[in-house]
Chain A
Amino acid sequence: MKQPEALLEVRDLHKWFPLRRRLLSRAREVVKAVDGVSFDVRRGEVLSLVGESGSGKSTVGRSVLRLTVPTAGTIRFAGTDITHFSRRQMRPFRQRMQLVFQDPYASLNPRMTVEGILAAPLEIHGRAASRSDRRDKIEEALRLVGLLPQHAARYPHEFSGGQRQRIGIARALMTGPELLIADEPVSALDVSIQAQVVNLLVELKRRLGLTILFVAHDLAVVGHISDRIAVMYLGRLVELAETRELFGNPRHPYTEALLSAAPIPDPTFKRERIVLAGDIPSPVNPPSGCSFRTRCPYALPACGEARPPLREVAPGHFKACIRDDLRLRAPG
């Protein structure tokens, strides 16, 4: 897993949230939102975390940014262990890792102009030498995301959803970050606008050499933008591979089911769809062994015995499943 330099190394990350103790119950219950996740994000790549709601993908993103304190495990950014850094120690690192939010309506302050929104990161990190330097930086960021300098004087409500998301991206770029964490950045947008924002992210990656951790549930979008994809289920990684390899040769039954469930915009496209039974189990009380076994069409009694480790089954292709005898289907 360690070919080019890893900008971000996540090892055995755990994030458990304690639940309120119930009357008469002795054990304190915890939600195991992230339960032992390890991966690297290499410099200059887009790594996507995909999974359904409750899979823990957003919690991984938030832990990496240290917006939440991990329960266990380590996070190394550019070689430095930041897992237990204080707020003050984190500060220089915050400039180097920035977040793009899902909801472009809720993540911009409606009472601030675009200029104010974009100036905030500069002020917090003391990055603007003078007023003219500040204006130059804001104009540059606006151009970079496809907006005009005169937009700086406007308020968020004057923009459409897609334009607001561009402002959110511009804000994340103000501090010149190396790592961008994009948490469902296009899922609140209309289809025709989604493509604009996806293209923008791809272009920024190329032009600025950004590294992006892309958190999303839409496999088609993820497939378009990512170099590698990590699939999460119930707080764990179940498969990780290069995009083309993952889509062309899925090795984990959950990945197969996800790919098979995603609707394809082509009425002539025929396939036998795998419809998983039931819902994702509760992360308070996940199944023993492989957490997917309760919905897995290929589960064996042995699947409940031990938790399958994430192991390399082909160069660069990792999976957490004990069954190597399966021939899984890929779309297309």
Chain B
Amino acid sequence: MTATPALVPAMAPVTRSAASMAEDVVLDVEDLSVSFVSPQGIVPAAREVSFEVRRGETLAMVGESGSGKSVTSLAILRLTPPAPQCRIEGRVRLRAGDRRVHDLLALPEARMRELRGSAAAMVFQEPMTSLNPVHKIGDQIAEAVRFHSALSKRGALDRAAELLDLVGIPDVRRRMSSYPHQLSGGMRQRVMIAIALSCEPVLLIADEPTTALDVTIQAQILELLHDLQQRTQMALLFITHNLGVVAEIADRVIVMYAGRVVEEAAVLPLFKRPLMPYTQGLLRSVPRLDLAGRRCDELAAIPGNVPDPLALPPGCSFAPRCAHRVPELCDARVPLLEGAGAEHFVRCARWASLAEGAPP
């Protein structure tokens, strides 16, 4: 499950502000900001988030709670609460299966509803709460199929059976008439994936799809997603906090912190040569299975806590926890997301000087 270079043809450097989308780009997010109005004030949940996901590519979005990763994914499909409580700015463009480009934030709700589920679909963390407990599995999948196609009820049920088989559910005929509570967590997540895939979306957004599952089941679901992607060439935006899962499934990675993208790179450079001190700290703080029992020293924890979104630091949001902070540099203003090599971007005022001092 590593980067497959063949899927990402060599091309001119990506310029973020380009008006036209490159041919293989399925999702283009530009300066997306999401904020919520709360009694305490305006909470900026995601700020100027920009990225692209290409056909056949898996982009992992990593971050801790409150980093804005889920809000970003919900805003892409316009699933955040409506206007007065929640404000969305920026531009989100999706190239649907028919190659037409849609400006998602400008679409009327009725058009958006057609695209949701057909061109872009989503899988959530908690498969129990995402399924309707009083309807049979088969009917729930068939409903999704019929919403987006002209199939008859019979045809839709056949398609549902096909989909359940595709996601590796044994004994399909019996499972079609099961209720969600009769399935295990892993099975339910497979059903959610079947519903998401029912209309062959070009983009699948998976928000922590394996977090509620046991490791052996997580391995099954990751393998399933990978196989399905190979088959359909869909673009996958995978949101997770688990760096192990990222290493396994991602082609490229975006690291989020306090609502902003702080680093973006292909999976290998991100793990081997992370430039943002937050990414470095995150990687060091994870206990390693392959080193277990071999070292008794402390884990390199990142001191302090994630900042309060209502009282963000004036400059770099990570500065208060950063060992490399230089107050006059880091607290002066929010650093820009700078290019630091081939498709490697980092938001740190000191990345260049830190990289010089770092071992190669």
B residues 227-270 touching A (CB-CB < 8 Å): 241-248, 250, 267-268
A279 lies within 8 A of B267 (CB): no
Task: Identify the stretch in A1-9, A22-30, A261-269, A308-316 within 8 Å (CB) of chain B at 4 or more residues.
Answer: A261-269
B216 lies within 8 A of A263 (CB): no
B286 lies within 8 A of A268 (CB): no
**Which residue of the partner chain, among A195, A257, A269, A275, contacts B223 with CB atoms under 8 Å?**
A275
Q: How far is the CA of A258 from the CA of B271 in the complex (A)?
A: 23
A263 lies within 8 A of B247 (CB): yes
Q: Tell me which residues across on chain B come within 8 A of A276, comparing CB atoms.
A: 216, 219-220
B241 lies within 8 A of A190 (CB): yes
Q: Tell me which residues across on chain B come within 8 A of A261, comparing CB atoms.
A: 215-216, 218-219
Q: Is A220 an interface residue (CB 8 A)?
A: yes
Q: Is B299 an interface residue (CB 8 A)?
A: yes
A279 lies within 8 A of B293 (CB): no
Q: Tell me which residues across on chain B come within 8 A of A257, comparing CB atoms.
A: 216
Which chain B residue lies CB-closest to A228?
A: B293
**Which residue of the partner chain, among A53, A194, A198, A244, contacts B292 with CB atoms under 8 Å?**
A244
Q: How far is the CB of A151 from chain B (nearest CB, A)?
A: 14
Q: How far is the CA of A224 from the CA of B291 in the complex (A)?
A: 8
Q: Is B300 an interface residue (CB 8 A)?
A: yes
Q: Tell me which residues across on chain B come within 8 A of A262, comparing CB atoms.
A: 215, 244, 289
Which chain B residue lies CB-closest to A55?
A: B214
Q: Is A69 an interface residue (CB 8 A)?
A: no
Q: How far is the CB of A167 from chain B (nearest CB, A)?
A: 14
A residues 180-213 touching B (CB-CB < 8 Å): 190-196, 198-199, 202
Q: Tell me which residues across on chain B come within 8 A of A222, comparing CB atoms.
A: 292
Q: Is A163 an interface residue (CB 8 A)?
A: yes
B217 lies within 8 A of A264 (CB): no
Which chain A residue lies CB-closest to B296?
A: A202
Q: Which of B186, B214, B289 has the most C-beta atoms of chain A within 10 angstroms of its own C-beta? A: B289
A273 lies within 8 A of B241 (CB): no
Which chain A residue lies CB-closest to B288?
A: A220
Which chain B residue lies CB-closest to A223?
A: B292
B215 lies within 8 A of A191 (CB): no
Q: Tell me which residues across on chain A come within 8 A of B356, comparing CB atoms.
A: none
Q: How far is the CA of A198 from the CA of B218 in the complex (A)?
A: 24
Q: How far is the CB of A257 from chain B (nearest CB, A)?
A: 6
Q: Is A42 an interface residue (CB 8 A)?
A: no
B287 lies within 8 A of A220 (CB): yes
Q: Is B302 an interface residue (CB 8 A)?
A: yes
Q: How far is the CA of A22 from the CA of B332 in the complex (A)?
A: 69
Q: Is A140 an interface residue (CB 8 A)?
A: no
Q: Is A147 an interface residue (CB 8 A)?
A: no
Q: How far is the CA of A278 from the CA of B184 in the complex (A)?
A: 10
Q: Is A248 an interface residue (CB 8 A)?
A: yes
B285 lies within 8 A of A191 (CB): yes
Q: How far is the CA of A110 from the CA of B185 in the complex (A)?
A: 31
A residues 225-280 touching B (CB-CB < 8 Å): 242-248, 257-269, 273, 275-276, 278-280
Which chain B residue lies CB-closest to A227?
A: B293
B residues 54-86 touching A (CB-CB < 8 Å): 64-65
B299 lies within 8 A of A195 (CB): yes
B219 lies within 8 A of A264 (CB): no
Q: Is A126 an interface residue (CB 8 A)?
A: no
**Which residue of the partner chain, among B170, B241, B290, B294, contacts A269 with CB atoms under 8 Å?**
B290
Q: Is B306 an interface residue (CB 8 A)?
A: yes
Which chain A residue lies CB-closest to B300?
A: A195
Q: Tell me which residues across on chain A come within 8 A of B305, comparing CB atoms.
A: 160, 162-163, 193
Given contacts A163-B305, A263-B244, A278-B170, 18 further A-B contacts (CB under 8 A): A191-B241, A191-B282, A192-B64, A192-B282, A192-B301, A192-B302, A221-B287, A222-B292, A244-B293, A258-B216, A263-B222, A263-B248, A264-B244, A265-B243, A266-B290, A268-B271, A276-B219, A332-B292
Q: Which 4 A-B pairs have the closest CB atoms?
A: A223-B292, A332-B290, A263-B244, A244-B293
Binding site for B on A (CB under 8 A): 52-53, 160-163, 190-196, 198-199, 202, 217, 219-224, 242-248, 257-269, 273, 275-276, 278-280, 331-332
23 contacts between A and B (CB under 8 A): A163-B305, A192-B64, A195-B285, A195-B299, A219-B292, A220-B244, A220-B288, A222-B292, A224-B287, A224-B292, A244-B292, A258-B215, A261-B216, A263-B222, A263-B248, A267-B3, A267-B267, A267-B271, A275-B219, A278-B170, A279-B184, A279-B217, A280-B214
